[in-house]
Amino acid sequence: MSEYKKQLPLITAIDKPFWEAAKRHELVAYRCLNCGTFYSHPTDCVACDKPKMDWVRVSGKGQVFTFGIYHQLYHPAWKEDIPYNVAWVKLDEGPLLMSNIVECKNEDIHIGMPVEVVFDDVTEEVTLPKFKPVK
């Protein structure tokens, strides 16, 4: 595996289950097991009065909620990727995740585009969930 030069996520005790699941090529989201409400990040449930929170596996399917194409270099590690995209994907289960859309041209990305998760093993310790168009 070649040296990965881009920024890596800061993995904390709070989000460690998310990154451990990604390493197994599984996508998880935080959910209230009492009422079923999903969240993008660990929090207490605001939808019910008896929250019981845990990470649960999700389908990995969703759609592009919004996105941007970056043409300016903000960090030297991204030089070879200019222009690159950053997208918010709304999972079918509800939460939003920020990632990249891969396996398509930037000009083909559009709001509402159906996507599914793929996993990029960037280091021995970190796997990044990214999304590709559903064919």
Q: What is the pLDDT of residues 34-84, one digit of tens each?
A: 999 999 889 999 999 888 999 999 999 999 999 999 999 999 999 999 999
Average pLDDT for the chain: 95
> What domain count does the chain have?
1
In a domain, 78, yes or no: yes
In a domain, 5, yes or no: no
Residue 11 included in any domain: no
Average pLDDT rounded to a whole number, residues 74-102:
96
Residue 44 belongs to domain spanning? 16-133
pLDDT score of 21 more than 80: yes
Neighbours of 115 (CB within 10 A): 25
Give the pLDDT score at 1: 65
105 band by pLDDT with thresholds 50, 70 and 90? very high
Q: What is the pLDDT of residue 135?
A: 86
The kind and range of the H/E element at 129 are strand 127-133
Residue 8 lies in a domain: no
CA quadruple 69, 75, 82, 95: dihedral sign: negative
